[in-house]
Structure 1
Amino acid sequence: MSKDDDKPKLRSAEWFGRQDSYGFIYRSWMKNQGHTADMFDGKPVIGICNTWSDLTPCNGHLRGLAEHVKRGVYAAGGFPLEFPVLSLGESNMRPTTMLFRNLASMDVEASIRANPLDGVVLLVGCDKTTPASLMGAASVDLPTILVSGGPMLSGRWKGKQIGSGTDVIRFKEAVRAGAMTVDEFMAAEAAMSRSAGSCMTMGTASTMASLCEGLGIALPENGAIPAVDARRQAMAFNAGRRAVEMVREKLRMSHILTKAAFLNAVRLNAALGGSTNAVVHLLALAGRLGVDFTLADWDAAGRDVPCLVNLMPSGQYLMEDFFHAGGVPAVLGEIASMLDLDAMTVTGKPLGQSHISPAVHDSAVIYPLAAPFKPAGGIAVLRGNLSPDGAVIKPSAATPHLMQHTGPAIVFNDPDDLKARIDDPSLPVDENSVLVLRNCGPKGYPGMAEIGNLPIPRRVLDKGILDMVRISDARMSGTAFGTVVLHVAPEAAAGGPLALVRDGDLITLDVANRRLHLDVSEVELERRRHDLAPFVSPYQRGWEKLYVEHVLQADSGADMDFLIGGSGDYVPRVSH
């Protein structure tokens, strides 16, 4: 057998390896960028899928990072080609980036599938760019490695650390309560976001970047190296080099993103005190690969894993501190006994040989498993007659005494109703009430916006009460905190029981027993259901219309029904 027989058949050869008029077209037009002839001579072509955009502040530095990926690809004998895709900027886009996550994933899938690529490096950062890119790439299933842009440096104001999102929420409530002036609020702006990168709290961006290590789809330390640290650039170089090797080894996404990998990620999320948004994103990603991974798996895998990481919003510190304390490799080392260490990673080695470090450098940031930061880690999945298909709560961010609570409902029908009445002096609310917000799920808002952490009513704030039980079919920011039940499924707009709740109905939250119960008889609920007006979408055109008609519920990851299951790396037919 010749050495050539051992080489993988390159997908890009269907374009660049042709000795006909089509090959002439593919190579000739590419050469107008100065590419030399040897670039088309059997080198693995690595696509650099870049979610850079000036409108996505967290990803604003990714163009520079792409250059380091390219150097790595060239060093390994590959041919790097960078391409843009739809970028989702959490801080700017309305009504919510989640409305466009699935659209961005379709852009990623189409861009990879339609072009002469053998492998892919995904350059991501802001919340939805990570799952969207992974979902799109998984549907094609080429050798793929993910590189995050990294978190910002720690915010500092008046001699104290302040964190993205988490302190915005705290400051907002302090202004509402009269404990902080508007001028002080405005002065904190520049002090919070003082370098390139994504949120430096353990919000959704940092959670997803960290979970990519646990999944094995990113190199070690991907989650926590600060965006402006030179080691982030070195990691990008190594990812580019490794992408070429993965093509030669035929190491695809489906070889890495197995059920074992997803369960590892759930356990890591618990130890990190990670974002509830990871639930819908990992469920959707598993769906693209046909992996049998459900909400029940989330609850079972993470249930006995405590929170080890003292980071906002669950704790005190920020991502820069986390990196210096040992980062994700150190956390994986602490929970190694709970992990499947044989799960494959992008390094070509199993997790136990590549991504785990026994070294914790600061025990105030990363606690030992034997003496955790908080006993309740994971994402608790709640079921009952109010959430027959599940709802979630993050115990590490909740108030302990509220995790077993019964109180009367105060119902808000939508965000406008909430805004109009939450501070109304006549609102019959006290600290025992349960605030309910509905019609904010995947179909109802649409897009399932991050508004589930309802503000505390003024009359309750005035008593010095800072947390209440809140329930909705919405999501909340990974930087948020409180005793907040989210992702109630089915949502109200889909006819779920949340649509049937009335003011004064007693609701019981029992996190220990994973129960969410509406104390109303089935006969009465059926009567209310009969009187319920059907949901009518206000969208009659474009992506929004397609989304509302085809989006699945939160317990299935809120993906589109026609995108479940990938279709592999087939090469589209020549059409010219």
Structure 2
Amino acid sequence: PAASGDRLRAGTTAGRLAVAAARDGLRPSALLSRASLTNAVTVLMAVGGSTNAIIHLLAIAGRTGLDLTLDDFDAIARRVPLLVDCKPSGSGYLEDLHRAGGVPVLMKTLEPLLDLSARTIEGGTLRDRLAGVEPAPSWQTTIRPLDEPLGPPRALAVLRGNLAPDGAVIKLSAATPELTVHEGPAVVFESPEDVAQRIDDPDLEITPDSVLVLRNAGPVASGMPEAGSFPVPMRLARQGVRDMVRVSDARMSGTSYGTVVLHVAPEAAVGGPLALVRDGDVIRLDAPAGELTLLVPDDELRRRRAAWTPPPAPARGWRRLNAEHVLQAPQGADFDTLRPAPRVSRGAGVEGGEEE
């Protein structure tokens, strides 16, 4: 917590370790491994953490050339229960997690599910680090034991289907259970600005069963803002509606809640199926089955695709660079230029021969 002396002590320790690593030439790439990344995913699932962490971890893996995909998130999510009682997945706060022992105690609880061979910046392995950590104290209820979890596995779930052939994600631990299997007509918004202008329009044809669709909010279109958890229309909220299914190629804040499908890929701006959705199309979400489906015949989708035209590319500047080089959400929405370059053959007769 910001007001805790532990924060200052942790910052001082981190600074000393960073200086020592720089002095010794220890690079992050020497510490990172598939084991360390899958351990991070395991902790993320136990916390019911931010969907943004999926983007970040995929980007880190991409920059270091490590193999990590949405399939790994899905596989790990299916075996890791929700253990931490903190909002939005639970009722407590991060201060409660800190008082219960924080991430070290959580990782001690998760020890049977972690790869303990992962290297740490302190010089040893995760096994060495956790050997000195006491189990979760009995007086606290924020960090639950593995055999008495707060919730089932799949706090964060991966979805696929004809609306998200390359994947999408949903935070099931913060969703309304009754909406995780839902079928309803689409109400389409073309951008976050369109949402702001029309969501409370009294003439908008919308019901509690509608599926709110936001597109052109992905990495290429607009830098993938945290726009995916846009509000329920005011007139429905006044009727007591607290949640609706929302689907977008955007992100959302880690503190947000609701039945919100995010990171739909490919995004609409590059011709993903989200670009083909029209008002009234029926969308089916079956989160337990990991499915997101646009219930429109294939021949109709082919006709729509033939008529679709991509949005104009930015003329210059940062937005042009972003549009040309940013990757999709399943690749971490990172720049392709920042990934390891493939080995290039210089060819016969070129001085230096082939690059090794």
| TM-score normalised over the length of structure 1 | 0.57
Is residue 25 of structure 2 the alignment partner of residue 260 of structure 1?
A: no
Aligned counterpart in structure 1 of residue 311 of structure 2, from 535, 540, 559: 535
Is residue 212 of structure 2 the alignment partner of residue 435 of structure 1?
A: yes
The answer to whether the Cα contact below 8 Å between 2:265 and 2:330 also exists between their aligned partners in 1 is yes
Aligned counterpart in structure 2 of residue 365 of structure 1, from 142, 147, 169: 142
> What SS does the corresponding residue of 1:548 show, helix, strand or coil?
helix
Distance across 2 between alignment mates of 1:413 and 1:500: 11
Aligned counterpart in structure 1 of residue 227 of structure 2, from 451, 475, 481: 451
- Structure 1 residue 535 displacement after superposition: 1.6
Distance across 1 between alignment mates of 2:39 and 2:13: 24
Query: For residues 363 and 377 of structure 1, do their structure 2 counterparts lie closer, same or farther at Cα, with a shift above 3 Å needed?
Result: farther
Distance across 1 between alignment mates of 2:124 and 2:83: 26
Is residue 169 of structure 2 the alignment partner of residue 384 of structure 1?
A: no
The answer to whether the Cα contact below 8 Å between 2:109 and 2:135 also exists between their aligned partners in 1 is no
- Structure 1 residue 401 displacement after superposition: 1.4
Distance across 1 between alignment mates of 2:293 and 2:134: 43
Aligned counterpart in structure 2 of residue 347 of structure 1, from 115, 122, 134: 122
Matches within 5 A, 1:305-324: 305-324=80-99
The answer to whether the Cα contact below 8 Å between 2:46 and 2:84 also exists between their aligned partners in 1 is yes
Aligned counterpart in structure 1 of residue 201 of structure 2, from 424, 429, 453: 424
> What SS does the corresponding residue of 2:81 show, helix, strand or coil?
coil
Is residue 271 of structure 2 the alignment partner of residue 513 of structure 1?
A: no
Query: For residues 458 and 241 of structure 1, do their structure 2 counterparts lie closer, same or farther at Cα, with a shift above 3 Å needed?
Result: closer
In the alignment, which residue of structure 2 is the partner of 1:409?
186
In the alignment, which residue of structure 2 is the partner of 1:235?
10
- Structure 1 residue 241 displacement after superposition: 3.3
Aligned counterpart in structure 1 of residue 322 of structure 2, from 542, 547, 572: 547
- Structure 1 residue 248 displacement after superposition: 6.7
Is residue 155 of structure 2 the alignment partner of residue 375 of structure 1?
A: no
- Encode CA deviations 1:465-493: one digit per residue, 9 max, x unaligned: 10111000000011111000000000000
The answer to whether the Cα contact below 8 Å between 2:191 and 2:215 also exists between their aligned partners in 1 is yes
The answer to whether the Cα contact below 8 Å between 1:411 and 1:436 also exists between their aligned partners in 2 is yes
> What SS does the corresponding residue of 1:242 show, helix, strand or coil?
helix
Give the superposed CA RMSD.
1.8
Letter of the aligned partner of 1:548 in structure 2?
Answer: A
The answer to whether the Cα contact below 8 Å between 2:77 and 2:153 also exists between their aligned partners in 1 is no
Question: Structure 1 stretches (4+) deviating beyond 6 angstroms?
Answer: none
Is residue 254 of structure 2 the alignment partner of residue 502 of structure 1?
A: no
> What SS does the corresponding residue of 2:82 show, helix, strand or coil?
coil
Distance across 2 between alignment mates of 1:331 and 1:520: 45
In the alignment, which residue of structure 1 is the partner of 2:332?
557
The answer to whether the Cα contact below 8 Å between 1:302 and 1:377 also exists between their aligned partners in 2 is yes
Letter of the aligned partner of 1:367 in structure 2?
Answer: R
- Encode CA deviations 1:119-170: one digit per residue, 9 max, x unaligned: xxxxxxxxxxxxxxxxxxxxxxxxxxxxxxxxxxxxxxxxxxxxxxxxxxxx
Query: For residues 531 and 376 of structure 1, do their structure 2 counterparts lie closer, same or farther at Cα, with a shift above 3 Å needed?
Result: same
Aligned counterpart in structure 1 of residue 170 of structure 2, from 393, 400, 417: 393
Distance across 2 between alignment mates of 1:300 and 1:438: 28
Distance across 1 between alignment mates of 2:311 and 2:130: 47
- Structure 1 residue 234 displacement after superposition: 2.4
Quick one: higher RCO (CA 8 Å, sep 6+), 1 or 2?
A: 2
The answer to whether the Cα contact below 8 Å between 2:100 and 2:136 also exists between their aligned partners in 1 is yes
Matches within 5 A, 1:42-53: none
Aligned counterpart in structure 2 of residue 523 of structure 1, from 265, 286, 299: 299
- Structure 1 residue 260 displacement after superposition: 0.8
- Structure 1 residue 433 displacement after superposition: 1.1
Distance across 2 between alignment mates of 1:555 and 1:240: 32
Unaligned 5+ segments in structure 1 are 1-225, 568-576
- Structure 1 residue 463 displacement after superposition: 2.0
> What SS does the corresponding residue of 1:424 show, helix, strand or coil?
coil
In the alignment, which residue of structure 2 is the partner of 1:465?
241
- Structure 1 residue 428 displacement after superposition: 2.0
The answer to whether the Cα contact below 8 Å between 1:271 and 1:377 also exists between their aligned partners in 2 is no
Query: For residues 322 and 507 of structure 1, do their structure 2 counterparts lie closer, same or farther at Cα, with a shift above 3 Å needed?
Result: same
- Structure 1 residue 532 displacement after superposition: 1.0
Distance across 2 between alignment mates of 1:377 and 1:325: 23
In the alignment, which residue of structure 1 is the partner of 2:352?
none
**Structure number with larger C-alpha Rg:** 1
Letter of the aligned partner of 1:368 in structure 2?
Answer: P
> What SS does the corresponding residue of 2:183 show, helix, strand or coil?
strand
Is residue 39 of structure 2 the alignment partner of residue 273 of structure 1?
A: no
Distance across 2 between alignment mates of 1:513 and 1:236: 42
Is residue 302 of structure 2 the alignment partner of residue 302 of structure 1?
A: no
Distance across 1 between alignment mates of 2:15 and 2:225: 35
Unaligned 5+ segments in structure 2 are 343-356
Distance across 2 between alignment mates of 1:241 and 1:389: 41
Distance across 2 between alignment mates of 1:546 and 1:245: 36
Matches within 5 A, 1:94-133: none
Query: For residues 354 and 545 of structure 1, do their structure 2 counterparts lie closer, same or farther at Cα, with a shift above 3 Å needed?
Result: same
Distance across 2 between alignment mates of 1:377 and 1:521: 31
Distance across 2 between alignment mates of 1:546 and 1:408: 36
- Structure 1 residue 355 displacement after superposition: 4.3
The alignment of Structure 1 onto Structure 2 pairs a total of residues equal to 340
Letter of the aligned partner of 1:522 in structure 2?
Answer: D
The answer to whether the Cα contact below 8 Å between 2:158 and 2:290 also exists between their aligned partners in 1 is yes
> What SS does the corresponding residue of 1:337 show, helix, strand or coil?
helix
The percentage of counterpart residues that share the same residue type is: 52
Distance across 2 between alignment mates of 1:378 and 1:265: 14
Matches within 5 A, 1:12-161: none
